[in-house]
A and B are shown apart, each in its own frame.
Chain A
């Protein structure tokens, strides 16, 4: 059985757990604990270890989805999770500009580690005051070739679209 891995990352409360829950075929394995630092101002429970979801591609191939913890003190997990990943989705809460710097720090981290195919998903586009994908591109100073996609992590079609766009980027780098 071959397994391939995609990583879903982003700042606290960007919607990583929801994103994986929406698409995973299995009950998502989350290790949620009561937040112990300033994240408690945002949500009572947050992911302090990781989320794990799974999609069977065939009898011999499985796609694993890993959600990284958002809190800074779990940075060390990012490196472990990113080992051997096929691609990366960076989720951004489009309604909270106070998380944009942290999002840049996460992108910097993953890109300094390896040249991984990635897309940015502008989550919570259904909310009032959501910054549009193009505004997010400018706010995060992302180059033109990086895809910034509208996303609603609770909507299956929206999550599928983000994964398909990431797979398109991966395809361009794959070999015959």
Chain B
């Protein structure tokens, strides 16, 4: 069954996180009024992205960008007819029409820009079709792209408190790393200000304290942390409040202690229902 919803409620960056962590393979279709876009993933990494107004085969795209001549494009198209489902990307490399690294660079730049523009959509229907793959002639990157980098860049373009506050309701919240953040950060290029915030994360300081220590505005710190959060590098938790005490001297916030024998009785009763 496809996953459906609206990016007003479940944002593109949230979806990219789900695709990444769920190692999803399939296509995310986005649509609003007369615009449509499709993002294809394999095991959580982006293969290609197309938009309705710019949905061209790889060879046409490479001709447009001056990387192939029309004659070479025709040669590739004819060779592709004799292939059994192989991707055009692999074929143009095999035919030595373009180097693998050069093809990756050209396609990555093109696809990244298509995806970044989608972060500007504040609403639109999404539908994720599991297992759906792109056409072999589509501009598929030789090396699928990790999405953490896309999330960070997309979040850099967010300039509204509203979306950030969904995840970071207060600057009194504490930022802490998830386990092995460096491992996950490998796919991400951090800007200087992002490194300044990254270096201040210690699991104790609040966002307001980080802003004060770095001399940055609270908005900028929250926006950067929102990016880390969305990319799955950090977690944001409430600062533990002082625990109010009951008259008995027992802390109010302590969950009631319960005996195993009592839990066992409830389990047995429910099993027998």
**Which chain A residues have a beta carbon within 8 Å of chain B's beta carbons?**
2, 4, 23, 55-58, 61, 63, 84, 86, 96-98, 100-101, 108, 112-117, 128-131, 134-135, 138-139, 141, 156, 160, 163-164, 167-168, 170-171, 173-176
Contact A174 B253 (CB under 8 A): no
- The CA of A101 and the CA of B14, in the complex, are separated in Å by 11
Given contacts A55-B273, A56-B269, 7 further A-B contacts (CB under 8 A): A57-B265, A108-B238, A129-B2, A163-B270, A164-B271, A170-B263, A171-B263
Q: Is B193 an interface residue (CB 8 A)?
A: no
- In the complex, what residues of A have CB within 8 A of residue B266's CB? 4, 57, 61, 63, 167
Chain B contact residue count (CB 8 A cutoff):
37
- In the complex, what residues of B have CB within 8 A of residue A2's CB? 262
Subset of 13 A-B contacts with CB under 8 Å: A4-B262, A55-B269, A57-B269, A58-B265, A61-B266, A97-B4, A97-B9, A135-B3, A138-B17, A160-B270, A160-B271, A160-B273, A174-B260
- In the complex, what residues of A have CB within 8 A of residue B18's CB? 135, 138-139
Q: Is B166 an interface residue (CB 8 A)?
A: yes
Residue of B nearest to A6 (CB): B266
Q: How many residue pairs, one in A and one in B, have C-beta atoms under 8 Å apart?
A: 104
Residue of A nearest to B8 (CB): A98
- The CA of A96 and the CA of B271, in the complex, are separated in Å by 31
Q: Is B21 an interface residue (CB 8 A)?
A: yes
CB distance from B233 to the nearest CB of A (A): 12
CB distance from B151 to the nearest CB of A (A): 13
Residue of B nearest to A112 (CB): B238
CB distance from B257 to the nearest CB of A (A): 6
Interface residues of B in 150-208 (CB under 8 A from A): 166, 169
- The CA of A115 and the CA of B258, in the complex, are separated in Å by 14
CB distance from A6 to the nearest CB of B (A): 9
- In the complex, what residues of A have CB within 8 A of residue B267's CB? 164, 167-168, 171
